[in-house]
Amino acid sequence: MSRKNKKKYSPLTNRYLRWKVKYGHFLPILIGSVSLCLVFSFGLFIYWHLEGWNFVDSLYQVIITLSTVGFMEVHPLTPRARMLTSLLILMGVGNFAFLMGAFTQLLVEGHLQDLWGKRKMQKMINRLENHFIVCGHGRIGSVVTAELLKEGYPVVVVEQDEEIVHQLKMDGILCVHGDATSDQTLLAANLKRARTIITTLNKEAQNVYVTLTARQLMPKIEIVARAEHEDSIQKLQFAGADRVLTPYVIGGKRMAQVVLRPTVIDFLELALLEKELELQMEELIISPNSELVGKDLIQSQIRPRYNLIIVAIKKANGQMLFNPGPKTILDAGDTLIAIGSKENLEAIEEIL
């Protein structure tokens, strides 16, 4: 569009539009309240300044005039004061009618209830600790959210689409309505006390910006980012992402493995996805105070005591040991990849 065809607004109109964006449906209430204060000040000007009454009498006269209770005047009014008082009554009644209409509209349209619900949800979010923040509730983000909730972890979804936010509230999922690239939005999702932030936005530039913002606000938080292409992995890692995943590449490889190694894929799906079955695969982290520290796999008695199979060990330095031998020493900070029943996996946590 050329500069000639661009529509220009006056400074007053631009200011109103900014207020409309900032205060939303509560702008009429704000305007009516400011207008009522001006009308009240006008009444004080009539009786205190023009009529020369004292402040207390002027204040009382304004109150009984605007409230239309019908009391007698405090002092006799001059013809000029009677004309201005008539104008004051019209302005006051009109202002009260405007305020009542604006408040009624808030109640009828449910905006007041939305504000109350938003504050209640924000209090719940502020009480969370070690929760997951999922930025974007599209095709990828919705799956991530569902899986985390199924595992019993607290999740806060950051979404800009108002319809999706409404549906999340209806489903009882904690959410923040706003732009995930904004500092204020991430802080509203309680970023400073979160465990991990997962950005699954559709636009890759937004994922980069969310990663940069989150890393700047919380240098130690774990960041998992979505990339559209493998070429973008390095960019997101440079921005501060700990892990970068490309859903389309992962999906394509998964389809190929289903054709090439169907039995292996069936086993992994049973171990990782089918929570109704007895068999599960979990990662177990050895704490510094664990009785397993310094022992090898035979001495740990993990297999005979808990009937668990250790398929791999990720050492604290990042080294991955697959099919570890019986003499492999367990150290603090090691992560055990174990397969077994849910009951046994929960039982071993007592000695970790």
Share of the chain above pLDDT 70, in %: 86
Report residue 195's pLDDT band, with 50, 70 and 90 as the boundaries.
very high
25 pLDDT more than 70: no
**Residue 241 belongs to domain with CATH number:** 3.40.50.720
What's the pLDDT score for residue 342? 81
What's the pLDDT score for residue 169? 85
What's the pLDDT score for residue 214? 94
Residue 185 shares a structural domain with residue 225: yes
| Domain assignment present for 256 | no
**How many Cβ atoms are within 10 Å of 297's Cβ, its own excluded?**
19
281 pLDDT more than 50: yes
Residue-number span of the structural domain to which 330 is assigned: 279-351
Q: How many domains does the chain have?
A: 3
The larger pLDDT score, comparing residue 31 to residue 225, is at 225
Most confident of 53-67, 114-128, 277-291: 53-67
Residue 121 shares a structural domain with residue 245: yes
| Domain assignment present for 232 | yes
**Residue 22 belongs to domain with CATH number:** 1.10.287.70
Q: Read off the pLDDT of residues 67-122 as tens digits, 9 standing for 90 and up.
A: 877 777 888 888 888 888 888 888 888 888 888 877 776 666 555 556 566 778 88
What is the distance, to the nearest Å, from the Cα of residue 238 to the centroid of all Cα atoms in its chain? 25
What's the pLDDT score for residue 193? 92
> Is residue 310 within a helix (H) or strand (E), and if so which, with residue range?
strand 309-314
Which residues, 6 or more positions from 132, have their beta carbon under 8 angstroms from its beta carbon?
148, 153, 154, 155, 156, 194, 195, 196, 197, 198
What's the pLDDT score for residue 157? 95
Residue 334 shares a structural domain with residue 225: no
Cβ atoms of 61 and 53 within 8 Å: the answer is yes
